[in-house]
Amino acid sequence: MRSLRIGAGQGFYGDSVDGALDVARGGEVSYICFDALAELTMAILQKDRFRDPAAGYARDLPAFMTALLPECRARGIRLITNAGGINPAGAAAAVRSVARTLGMDDLRIGVVVGDDITSRIDELRAAGAALANMDTGEDVSAIRDRIVFGVAYLGCAPVVQALQMGADVVVTGRVADASLFVAPMVHELGWSLDDWDRLAAGAVLGHLMECSAQSTGGNFSGDWWNVPDLDRAGYPVCEVRQDGTALLTKPAGTGGRVCFDTVKEQLLYEVLDPRSYFNPDVVADFTSVQLRDAGPDVVEVSGVRGRERTDSLKTILGYLDGYAGTCAIGYSWPDAVAKARRSAALIERMTERAGLRPLDRVVELIGVDSTHGSAAPIPDDANEVVLRVCARFATEGEAKRFTRIATPLGLNGPPFIGGGVAPQSARALLGVWPSLLPRSLVEPSVEVLVEEAAAV
């Protein structure tokens, strides 16, 4: 039975390249897939594009390619990444530049475009797309004049096309995380795009591999203290067979652990309904997944079932949502919590006296309740605590004024331990608007281009 080995190379924008290098050197893989995007990442990339219209892709992409291309070219490993963000064409140009610098003028770079719907909002609405908020049902007209970007989550098909066209490196925008991994399975193993069980198996494997070392011992809530060498945790490698069954492992000699429990935790990560895991390619039933320890650091994945993909694609609209100003002050024992609470009350009064009217406000005692909120057990006292007050305003000027509100409390408030009272920068906020869009309005506009690095 034919099989294919695929490795994971990145789980988020800012990840280390070391895991990908270990996969390239010791994973014996034919492909490495890189998931650089999250909804927060899209907002970060849009802020980059505010400063530079030529930006909008992951800035660490050139560094990744510089480190990996020599290793991967020598081994015939093909690379797939969604680090193109909201500017995949710019990202592809950056990869071509790296390839030329490395003397790889014949490297074939594929780029997938068409997920960006920013300029098509009114056209899509006129065609009948409501673009209502998935969570609240609110009409998109509420944010229409503040939208700064919009992307639809694409599936594996355009990536498969780029591979069929001979791309050595495929750069995309908002292709769904797991679909990056499904594409080489479809291409190499001959899966049909309506073979729901196999596509579901691919989506499960992609989900298990998309988050760096979370399947291989990272973020493990079991006996995490016994997981070896997490300073160099091996990223996942899967050997998937033509029938969709697979072995999940990691490169030999790397840290971390692959076992039933570590894989199970990642399987359940970010899953709302395990019977219906929606992906642009398929709806996977995670309750059908069978996991079995098949050897040291090897887990077999089998039994996955799926059903027909939906007629809609998830869409994210990013919109301007005001400005944030933050105050932070540290307090020490004794009475650290009481000091912080008193200062929070003082800041509220000073804010009102200054004529500032926050749209929203968050008060946190870092070290006490910032993670679990009111569910956290509040100690009678603590060695130290940092008060953080963050407020959202309609204008940048108000946010800037708020950052200076707490400065007098350095000498005029409860005794503090220093730090944080100096004014911080106000930050523009981007809201995220999740919606659904008929795939028939998106997929016909998707384009795939493959060129050698030497092409101008």
**100 and 223 share one domain:** yes
**223 and 302 share one domain:** yes
Domain residues for the domain of 10 are: 3-115+153-310
Is a pLDDT exceeding 70 seen at residue 420?
A: no
**171 and 286 share one domain:** yes
Question: Average of pLDDT values for 148-152?
Answer: 96
**243 and 274 share one domain:** yes
286 within 8 A of 201, measured Cβ to Cβ: no
Structural domain ending residue among the three candidates 310, 339, 366: 310
Tally of domains in the chain: 2
pLDDT given for residue 119 in this prediction:
95
**327 and 304 share one domain:** no
Structural domain ending residue among the three candidates 265, 290, 310: 310
Question: Average of pLDDT values for 210-217?
Answer: 96
Is a pLDDT exceeding 80 seen at residue 220?
A: yes
**421 and 329 share one domain:** yes
In a domain, 374, yes or no: yes
pLDDT given for residue 422 in this prediction:
63
pLDDT given for residue 298 in this prediction:
98
**283 and 342 share one domain:** no
**281 and 370 share one domain:** no
pLDDT given for residue 71 in this prediction:
97
pLDDT given for residue 238 in this prediction:
98
Is a pLDDT exceeding 80 seen at residue 421?
A: no
pLDDT given for residue 416 in this prediction:
81
pLDDT tens per residue, range 292-310: 999 999 999 999 999 999 9
Structural domain ending residue among the three candidates 247, 278, 310: 310
In a domain, 421, yes or no: yes
pLDDT given for residue 322 in this prediction:
96
| 15-29, 78-92, 413-427: least confidently modelled range | 413-427
pLDDT band for 144, please (50, 70, 90 cuts). Answer: very high
pLDDT tens per residue, range 350-404: 999 999 999 999 999 998 888 888 787 877 778 889 999 999 999 999 999 999 9
**174 and 261 share one domain:** yes
pLDDT tens per residue, range 128-142: 999 999 999 999 999
**33 and 166 share one domain:** yes
Place of tokens 């925008």: 173
**193 and 304 share one domain:** yes
pLDDT band for 419, please (50, 70, 90 cuts). Answer: low
In a domain, 131, yes or no: no
pLDDT given for residue 410 in this prediction:
86
Report the chain's mean pLDDT, rounded to a whole number. 95
Is a pLDDT exceeding 90 seen at residue 342?
A: yes
pLDDT band for 279, please (50, 70, 90 cuts). Answer: very high
pLDDT given for residue 370 in this prediction:
82
pLDDT tens per residue, range 20-44: 999 999 999 999 999 999 888 998 9
- Closest C-alpha among 72, 81, 92 to residue 10: 81
**192 and 247 share one domain:** yes
The domain that holds 399 is classified in CATH as: 3.30.70
Question: Average of pLDDT values for 96-125?
Answer: 97
pLDDT given for residue 246 in this prediction:
98
